[in-house]
């Protein structure tokens, strides 16, 4: 049974833990470098990307997270996707990024909290977890978008329209602009778990 950590510095880490436990996965809240030991994968939740980056720096997590991400699956949702990226626009000067995934993220691409919305996404890779593959109801809250994929091995998983990228994968790294943990549909979590080697 894999052990999946959830970075618990700020944001909606508890909601991810609820989904993982519903799927029967052993989970661990991560706040300190030593709590990364023995993990098979990690989720970086949504929240406030500046705060997550600052606290990760303060708790000396940046380099340990980079080392983990070089070998094991990491999934960044919303603010977590910003933190995971190699480049980001509209972020505060000096905001730490892990620089693991070859994507450029635009912070707060859809506006403020009042501009939050839900929409149905077509996500072909989720058919592995439900052959009917109904649209995934995605929740966007002060969401970023993936402005560009910056390496040939980055796979676009979902778009809002013909242009706007909102989910991508690069090897064992996954980024989503939205919050799958706020949906009873756990297919994205199942997809992430499938990235963990047997």
Which active-site residues does the annotation give?
Answer: 78, 179, 181
**87 is written with which tokens?**
């480049």
Distance, in Å, from the CA atom of 182 to the CA atom of 124, rounded to the nearest integer, reads 20
Closest listed residue to residue 78, CA positions, set 125, 43, 32: 43
Question: Contacts for 122-129 with beta carbons within 8 Å, 24 or more apart?
Answer: 122/158, 123/157, 123/158, 123/167, 123/187, 123/188, 124/157, 125/157, 125/169, 125/191, 126/187, 126/188, 126/191, 128/191, 128/194, 129/187, 129/190, 129/191
- Report CA-CA distances (Å) from 198 to 86, 101, 194: 28, 23, 9
Answer yes or no: are the C-beta atoms of 150 and 110 closer than 8 Å: no
Distance, in Å, from the CA atom of 125 to the CA atom of 68, rounded to the nearest integer, reads 25
């Amino acid at each position: 049974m894999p052990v999946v950590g959830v970075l618990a510095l700020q944001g909606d880490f508890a909601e991810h833990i609820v989904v993982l436990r519903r799927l029967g996965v052993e989970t661990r809240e991560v706040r300190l470098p030593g709590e990364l030991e023995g993990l098979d994968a990690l989720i970086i939740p949504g929240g406030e990307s500046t705060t997550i980056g600052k606290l990760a720096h303060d708790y000396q997590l940046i380099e340990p997270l980079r080392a983990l991400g070089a070998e094991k699956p990491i999934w960044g949702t919303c603010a977590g996707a910003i933190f995971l990226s190699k480049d980001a626009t509209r972020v505060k000067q000096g905001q730490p990024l892990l620089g693991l995934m070859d994507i450029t993220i635009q912070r707060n691409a859809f506006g403020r909290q009042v501009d939050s919305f839900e929409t149905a996404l077509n996500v072909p890779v989720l058919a592995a977890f439900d052959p009917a593959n109904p649209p995934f109801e995605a929740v966007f809250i002060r969401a970023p978008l993936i402005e560009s994929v910056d390496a040939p091995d980055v796979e676009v998983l979902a778009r809002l329209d013909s242009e706007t990228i909102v989910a991508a994968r690069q090897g064992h790294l996954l980024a989503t602009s939205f919050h799958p943990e706020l949906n009873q549909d756990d297919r994205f979590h199942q997809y992430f778990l499938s990235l963990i080697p047997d």
